[in-house]
């Protein structure tokens, strides 16, 4: 039997998008209310509409003097100071022929129609001020509602809350925000050869690095990661572990055990507990990939994604395939990262039939360097790198060529959520 053709990454993205969108439609995301002071990084579940104007009153944009423009129409006009208004105070109506000492953010008194900055004035005697510059109507006044009007939608559902968004919520008096609960992700690793760090390393064993890497990646995406340990290479124990994980988590991620080896039981276990599709991806590293679902006792489902066991292949497939799914499970739209066009400071003479993602970093000149070792087991290359170079099938690179570079920050959280594919 001829092997199945390798699946291009764009096709895998399209299938994953359809899968997770349909999953969310059938399994609505849970929401909760959180203090707006603690909402950084959360995703809004409801639009935020302001019940107040911001600013609530006309106020001064700087320290100076509130005046009637009619009283300072002549050069070198001199006015008596009738009151002093600090931020948080409301002054009396401004009497004709007088000015009010006013400070940044203080409400402009009734009757005043301009604020003159103090640098354009000078004292002209006891409680009197001379105005040295022409004054225009409305100058240096921030109007009520200039930033936000009453009933204005200030933040949209599906927005990740940034520090600035927290400030906007506070400015309209929102003490609490309705947000989506963070995606709950179970991380399991497979293999009798795996040993936890800190334990003696027997002959033939290796330390379990994927456990740490995947947990860190999940947390970097803003999701909650639960480490469920190592699954022994046993079918019944694997099925039991998947059933348990599905009850308390939205997504189950495993690494290793997705090949066709007789000791790799994950595919059989997932098929017995739910359903899956096995994809041979046209990317390097990261060819073997499994996705599907695990049934829960109540009839709902948890999503399942099985990554390769090789550390770098697991790392790359997470960034390419798991991260966009986690975004949708967090309440964000499906979005793919955007590459930056930069100059190669390396040679890549060996083209591959698959789309390659090679570990790279920026140098001091803003060009791109490659790690010298690009094997799928060389995890130190990923720790060294601050991004990936995207090489199309058949592409070679010579120094000076323009290449597509994906910064790690963009891979973990695309800057433009509306960028969909």
Single out the residue of 280, 365, 350, 345 nearest to residue 317, CA to CA. 280
Given a contact cutoff of 8 angstroms between Cβ atoms, the answer to whether 44 and 178 are in contact is yes
**Which CATH architecture does the domain made up of 59-142 adopt?**
Beta Complex (2.170)
**Which CATH architecture does the domain made up of 9-24+181-329 adopt?**
3-Layer(aba) Sandwich (3.40)
C-alpha distances in Å from residue 65, one per residue of 79, 107, 117? 10, 12, 7
Whether 35-54+147-180 shares its CATH topology with 59-142 is answered: no
Given a contact cutoff of 8 angstroms between Cβ atoms, the answer to whether 252 and 221 are in contact is no
pLDDT in tens, the chain (421 residues): 566 789 999 999 999 999 999 999 998 999 999 999 999 999 999 999 999 999 999 999 999 999 999 999 998 999 999 999 999 999 999 999 999 999 999 999 999 999 999 999 999 988 999 999 999 999 999 999 999 999 999 999 999 999 999 999 999 999 999 999 999 999 988 766 777 777 777 787 776 788 889 999 999 999 999 988 887 778 898 899 999 999 999 999 998 776 555 456 788 889 999 998 878 899 999 888 889 999 999 999 999 999 988 899 999 999 999 999 999 999 999 989 889 999 999 999 999 999 999 999 999 999 999 999 998 888 899 999 999 999 999 999 999 999 999 999 888 877 544 443 3
φ and ψ of 356, to 5 deg: -110, 145
What is the structure's pLDDT at 419? 41
Question: How do the domains of the chain map onto residue ranges?
Answer: 9-24+181-329, 35-54+147-180, 59-142, 340-412
- The torsion angle over the Cα atoms of residues 413, 414, 417 and 420, rounded to 10 degrees, is -120
CATH number of 35-54+147-180: 3.90.105.10
The beta strands (E) that lie in 12-97 are given as 31-35, 48-49, 59-60, 64-67, 77-85
Q: What is the residue-wise DSSP string for 103-149? A: -TTPBPPTT--EEEEGGGEEE-STTEEEE-S---TTTTEEPTTSSB-
d(CA 226, CA 252): 10
- Which CATH class name applies to 340-412? mainly beta
Single out the residue of 210, 207, 216, 270 nearest to residue 238, CA to CA. 270
Burial of 114 (0-12, 13-18, 19+ CB in 10 A): buried
d(CA 240, CA 244): 6
What is the structure's pLDDT at 140? 97
């Amino acid at each position: 039997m001829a092997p199945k053709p390798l699946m291009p990454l764009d096709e895998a993205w399209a299938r994953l998008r359809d899968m997770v969108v349909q999953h969310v439609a059938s399994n609505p995301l849970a929401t909760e209310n959180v203090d707006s002071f603690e909402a950084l990084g959360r995703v809004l579940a409801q639009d935020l509409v302001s019940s107040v104007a911001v600013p609530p009153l006309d106020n001064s944009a700087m320290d100076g003097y509130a005046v009637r423009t009619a009283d300072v129409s002549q050069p070198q006009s001199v006015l008596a100071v009738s009151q002093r208004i600090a931020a948080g105070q409301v002054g009396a109506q401004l009497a004709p022929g007088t000015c009010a000492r006013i400070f940044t953010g203080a409400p402009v008194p009734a009757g005043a129609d301009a604020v003159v900055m103090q640098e354009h004035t000078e004292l002209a005697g006891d409680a009197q001020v001379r105005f040295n510059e022409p004054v225009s109507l409305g100058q240096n006044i921030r109007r009520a509602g200039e930033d936000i009007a009453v009933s204005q939608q200030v933040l949209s559902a599906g927005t990740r809350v940034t520090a600035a968004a927290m400030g906007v919520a506070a400015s309209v008096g929102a003490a609490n925000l309705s947000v989506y609960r963070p995606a709950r992700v179970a991380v399991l690793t497979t293999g009798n050869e795996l040993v936890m760090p800190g334990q003696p390393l027997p002959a033939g064993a290796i330390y379990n690095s994927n456990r740490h890497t995947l947990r860190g990646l999940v947390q970097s995406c803003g999701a909650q990661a639960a480490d469920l340990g190592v699954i022994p290479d046993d079918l019944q124990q694997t099925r039991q572990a998947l059933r348990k994980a599905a009850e308390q988590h939205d997504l189950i991620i495993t690494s290793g055990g997705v090949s066709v080896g007789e000791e790799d039981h994950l595919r059989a276990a997932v098929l017995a507990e739910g359903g899956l599709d096995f994809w041979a991806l046209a990317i390097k590293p990261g060819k073997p990939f499994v996705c599907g679902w695990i049934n829960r006792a109540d009839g709902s489902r948890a999503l399942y994604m099985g990554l390769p066991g090789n550390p770098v292949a697991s790392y790359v497939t997470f960034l390419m395939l798991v991260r966009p799914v986690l975004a949708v499970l967090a309440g964000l739209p499906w979005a793919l990262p955007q590459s930056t066009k930069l100059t190669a400071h390396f040679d890549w003479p060996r083209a591959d039939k698959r789309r390659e993602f090679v570990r790279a970093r920026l140098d001091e000149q803003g060009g791109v360097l490659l790690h010298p070792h690009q094997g799928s087991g060389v995890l130190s290359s990923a720790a060294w790198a601050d991004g990936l170079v995207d090489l199309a099938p058949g592409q070679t690179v010579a120094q000076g060529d323009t290449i597509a570079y994906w910064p790690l920050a963009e891979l973990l959280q695309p800057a433009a959520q509306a960028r969909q594919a």
